[in-house]
Structure 1
Amino acid sequence: MIDGHRRPHGPYTVASALLHHLVPGVLERSPELVAAHDIEIRAAAPGLRDVVPAGRATIDASLPDDERILVPAPRRTLRLANGLTEFVREVVPPGRTLMVCNGAETDPTDAELLDVMTRRIPPEVLTVVVYEGGPAPAGDPRGPGALWDLVDRCVHEGFLHAVAEAGRRGLETAEPGGEPWWRFAQRTATALGGLGRIGEAREVWAWARRCSQDPAVHAACAYGLAMLDARDPDPQRRDLARAREWVNEAIAISTLLRDPFERAFKLGFDRNGLALVELREGRPEAALALVESAMELAGELGERHPLHRMVLHANRGRLLAGLGRTKEALDDYTAAIALDPGFPDHYLDRGNLLAKLGLPDEALADYESAIRAGPPMPEAYYNRAELRIARDDTDGALADLGHVLELDPGYLDAYINRAGLLAALERDEEAWADVRAGLALAPGDVHLLVVLGQLETTAGRLGDAHATLDAAVAAAPGLAAAWGNRGVLRFAEGDVEGAVDDLSRAITLDPQPDLYANRAVALRSLGRTAEARTDERRASVP
């Protein structure tokens, strides 16, 4: 039995105890299996770092604190949970039970892990039992130093809930306005923003502004407040005008910083933030100019701040790709990867661009590099599935999409793509299941409605299909598949003229061979033989 209470050990209390029990024996039997999960094990059980070397690592760990600027996104913990689950599933003897007490007091990292383990490990292998009873720990005796060690580790691992909680306690133990207090404030506000707790983050930034007269602190606060507005995941809540006001203030203050290295770094950092505002206001060229000015400033830093340069290369690559300057974009992605080959995200970006350029082998290599670089990454498998669909590797695509949904059952696009593939293969029962699961996540999703209408047509439920596809056409008049499937439905209903109209509209939007083939059938039914022959020729062109 493991006490899951997050105090005093913090994130992955359960995982750490379980790994300390399992890893020593696995190291003796299968050291390669431990090596394959080194990132997950070292993140969840820092006490095992002396016996589990870092075979896969980013440069972040080797940098001084002021250069470790990246905070992992909240989804990183799902990747860690999946990797840990796969390790446990591989090594635990069948028929075991994991009992966890104080279940309501577990850290979100452990709660997520227990959920993934319950979902992905068969109960005949491991039964997970979580209950609420258990001893209550004493109050937290940790002082500022111990709390800072916890906050610092959790920031760089992406354990944002723990940062927010321990950071709050750190703010209560340190002298307001002092350097230790400011470090707690900055980490806490950043974590709260990453968790979407925008109001609380604003309060911490405002508190820091009230407590300090240090220009570097005020510049950082202004930048932090700007990013709360610019990065809000809900476009309706974004206030780009206010974000511009705050980031302009950050830039104005940063120009006054006395240390030339600090000034060059901070000004570049702030201009990169303003570039995001410009981009979201629809001015990519202005955004590109700002990123390039930040790169010029980064040239003044020598070998310092490699992560800052990596971010700038990646951001310029995205902007250049969006402007159609693909060769330059590829160069920037390659430069970003060279700065930190262990960082997986840029392999995805470069792979996507290579796929668009018609270089599937190179794109595949990048997707697989992203898969190897770290814990299980649903996006990498999803992107590889799309590439396999384009190459008519249906079995490979279905395997990848299935793995995506095993890793993340909330991955809507994977349901959409797999439902479409299954329907095309006439595996209708499985396709129905994916459509239902997808619509439960996103009611009214037009792509799922298109597949649903196709399935209803095949099942002879023509009235239902008509209502479904009418809704899809109304919601997305620019979606060729909606018109094409409604054309097939109308032919099945005997409305051949309507079928030709819908299929013609679909062909105008996206001239695919199957659309020509379907329209040819309808045209022959109307006696328009010459037009049908033309469509048949078009349908046969590879």
Structure 2
Amino acid sequence: MTEARSHLRVRGEPPARWGAARLLMPLIDAHRRPRGPYTVAAALLRHLVPPTLDRSAELVEAHDIEILAAAPELAGRVPAGRVTIDVGLADDERILVPAPRRTLRLANGIAEFVRDAVRPGRTLAVCNGAEADPTDIELLDAMMRRIPPATLTIMLYSDGPEPAPDTRGADELWTVVDRSMREGFLHAVVELGERGMARTEPGGERWWRFAQRTATALGGLGRTEEARAVWDRVRAASQDPKMHAASAYGTAMLDARHPDPARRDLARARRWINEAIAISTLLPDPAERAFKLGFDRNGLALIELRHGRLGAALSLVESAIELARELGERHPLHRMVLLANRAQLLSALGHTKEALEDYAAAIAIDPVFPDYYLDRGNLLFRLGQYEEALADYERAMRAGPPLPEAHYNRAELRTVRGDTDGALADLGQVIELDPGYLDAYINRAGLLAAAGRDEEARADVTAGLALAPGNPHLLTVLGQLETAAGRLAEARTALDQAVDTAPGLAAAWGNRGVLRYAGGDLEGAVEDLSRAIELQPQPDLYTNRAIALRALGRDAAADADDHRASRFS
């Protein structure tokens, strides 16, 4: 099985003589083979976290999750202040798989810790950079982006000593695989899980544990066909009904959760999830049956949701919640997920009071889990309860490592409340944390253009279009900027493309209406502005159409639009 891995841009051999006075610590060997995830991070943190916390206690405390995720051996030095409930749960109760983006959050948190902990003017030297684990690759990239060279210069080298072959047995590999799955180090789970499968008897219990983790990690990474192949191997190697039920569920979710909506095969997903339910119904142990059957019904609810059948999805989730009551105090994470899923469905169906109650119940199960603060904050935002939404976004920020989504959501809230400077600051933070966050470029470009900061807006449009060529939102802002600069032909090209790509985007029609007015095409301006108003009535659209109508001598219609615009204030 081949692994898709990115590589840092590295230099050649390190020089024979280092400027010892500038070196932060001895040369770090980044090769992932001996340790696995966060080889570089752990070495760095062992050096920077003092044996006894004094003045640095507050800094360490602020990054406890990141430090302990990368270097668990520092548990004796770093008190764990923010602990999720899964730490004390049995293996079969730890059902949550961290999203691949969690490692980006950890990388940003470690980068911030290093930036604030290191004495300026030092150099970090790393060899075997081409063989680093993806967690270290991501971390080094974040550090190079976010730590000024005057504070810490990072020197990367491709070559270094070749470590000994990996001769670890299944038990040692399992320790790393299990930790990697809990922390979200999915690339390591795939690489080492395959190694563990090769060193255990196919179809046996230990082999199954490696296979289940490997397939789940592959699915989380979007490598769906490889994941499907592992589930097929399970079916070929085992006659255990629990393995077959879990494999059927895992295969169904590959289709239901495929990252490309166009490639989701919901009919095939339904066939597989029905098979999982059929097997789970026959499991002899009542508690195991209640848990597994509820888990599978929750999966079927996702398929119903993808079909747009919200009522059917809600009924399935509620039946899973009823089954969970048979489990007593066991499986709290399962209950938490079900409550949050029911909250999402209730919200979509307009039952906001009940949705808020379910979100509160889910959050109470694990107050350190940030996702449901975001979801509840979004619901409160839609309800116009801005202070409560703001509090939830900020709770999500405090719950763990840096979270770009929380800053993005707070920026939207600040925009609605007229706090443009605050929104721009939050969007800037999003882009610093995640330079690939396309929507942040779109929103910041729009705010900058509205504020007359055209050059800054153009820079964001350029950066965004490099990520998503032809994005209609960015092309709309580009058309606005070109119109303001008097480059009407360029503006028309951008806006025509935006309208063709996204005919339901009101802003594209509105901006093209302004452009056509500027070019003397008054009838065309009215036509485009009218279409924008049909899609999304806004006061500025009525005002602009009134100007075009008045220029055409249609004063009565212009007065009517001015009246409509005034009703928004």
What SS does the corresponding residue of 1:236 show, helix, strand or coil?
Answer: helix
Aligned CA-pair RMSD = 1.3
- Per the alignment, residue 213 of structure 1 pairs with 239
Query: What is the CA distance between 1:467 and its match in structure 2?
Result: 1.9
Alignment map for 1:346-385 (pairs within 5 Å): 346-385=372-411
2:354 corresponding residue in structure 1: 328
Map Cα deviations across residues 88-136 of structure 1 (whole Å, 9 max, x no partner).
1111111111111111111000001001111111111111111111111
Aligned equivalent of 2:506: 480
1:66-77 to 2 correspondences below 5 Å: 66-77=92-103
Whether 1:126 aligns to 2:179 is no
CA distance in 1, matches of 2:161, 2:531: 67
Match of 1:399 among 415, 425, 430: 425
User: Deviation of residue 476 (structure 1)?
Assistant: 2.1
**TM-score when normalising by structure 1:** 0.98
User: How do residues 287-326 of structure 1 correspond to structure 2 at under 5 angstroms?
Assistant: 287-326=313-352
2:301 corresponds, among 272, 275, 284, to 275
> What amino acid maps onto 2:92 in structure 1?
D
Aligned with 1:447 (options 473, 477, 499): 473
Shift of 1:25: 6.5
8 Å CA contact 1:26–1:34 kept in 2: the answer is no
Return the letter of the residue paired with 1:290: L
Q: Deviations over 1:476-496 (max 9, x none)?
A: 222211111111111111122
- 1:171 CA displacement: 1.1
2:525, 2:198 → 1: CA distance?
70
Could you say which residue in structure 2 is the equivalent of 1:43? 69
Where 1:136 maps in the other structure, the secondary structure is: coil
SS in 2 for 1:97: strand
Amino acid at match of 2:235: R
**Counterparts of 2:172 and 2:401, CA distance in 1:** 28
Q: Which runs of 4+ in 1 moved over 6 A?
A: none
CA deviations 1:263-317 (Å, max 9, x no partner) are 0000000111111111112222111111111111001111110100011111111
Deviates more, 1:483-492 or 1:509-518: 509-518
Q: Is the 8 A contact 1:278 1:284 kept in 2?
A: yes
Answering whether residue 524 of structure 2 is matched by residue 498 of structure 1, we say yes
C-alpha separation in 2, matches of 1:104 and 1:128: 15
Give me the whole-angstrom Cα distance separating, in 2, the residues matched to 1:523 and 1:26: 74
Give 2:35's aligned residue: 9
Q: 1 CA distance for matches of 2:195 and 2:530?
A: 65
Distance in 1 separating the partners of 2:52 and 2:220: 36
Aligned to 2:458, which of 427, 432, 456? Answer: 432
Structure 2: distance between partners of 1:236 and 1:486:
30
Q: Kindly report which structure 2 residues correspond to 1:79-478, keeping only aligned pairs within 5 A, or say none.
A: 79-478=105-504
Question: Which of 74-83 and 210-219 deviates more?
Answer: 210-219
Unaligned runs of 5+ in 1: none
1:377 CA drift (Å): 0.7
Corresponding pairs, count: 542
**Counterpart residue identity of residue 191, structure 1:** A
For the residues of structure 1 that align with 2:60 and 2:437, how far apart are their CA atoms?
28
> Are the counterparts in 2 of residues 160 and 191 from structure 1 also a CA contact under 8 Å?
yes
Once the two structures are TM-superposed, the CA of residue 471 in structure 1 deviates from its matched residue by 1.9
2:82–2:400 contact (8 Å) kept in structure 1: yes
- TM-score, with structure 2 as normaliser: 0.93
Q: Which residue is 1:509 aligned to?
A: 535
Counterpart amino acid of 1:391?
A: R
**1:286 & 1:348 partners in 2: Cα distance?**
25
Using the TM superposition, name which of 343-352 and 514-523 deviates more.
514-523
Q: CA deviation at 1:505?
A: 2.2
3-state SS, counterpart of residue 499 of structure 1: helix
Q: Distance in 2 between matches of 1:427 and 1:203?
A: 52
Residue 369 of structure 1 aligns to which amino acid in structure 2?
R
1:364-413 CA-partner distances (Å, limit 9, x unpaired)? 11111111111111111000000001001000000000000000111110
Question: Is the contact between residue 384 and residue 400 of structure 1 (CA under 8 Å) also seen in structure 2?
Answer: yes
- State the distance in 1 between where 2:518 and 2:226 align: 57
Query: For residue 350 of structure 2, what is the amino acid of its counterpart?
Result: G
Give the letter aligned to residue 92 of structure 1.
Answer: V
Distance 1:355 1:503 in 2: 29
How far the C-alpha of 1:439 sits from its partner, in A, is 0.9
In structure 2, give the amino acid aligned to 1:516.
Y
Confirm or deny: 8 A CA contact 2:270 2:300 kept in the other structure.
yes
Q: State the 1:357 CA deviation.
A: 0.7
8 Å contact 1:26–1:91 — kept in the other structure?
no
Identity of aligned residues (%): 75
- SS state at 2:124 partner: strand
Query: In structure 1, what is the Cα distance between the partners aligned to 2:140 and 2:52?
Result: 21
What is aligned with 2:16?
A: none
Aligned residue in 1 for 2:85: 59
Asked whether the equivalents of residues 313 and 333 of structure 1 are also in contact (C-alpha less than 8 Å), the reply is yes
**Contact 1:314/1:336 (<8 A) preserved:** yes
One-letter code aligned to 1:229: D
Unaligned 5+ runs, structure 2: 1-26
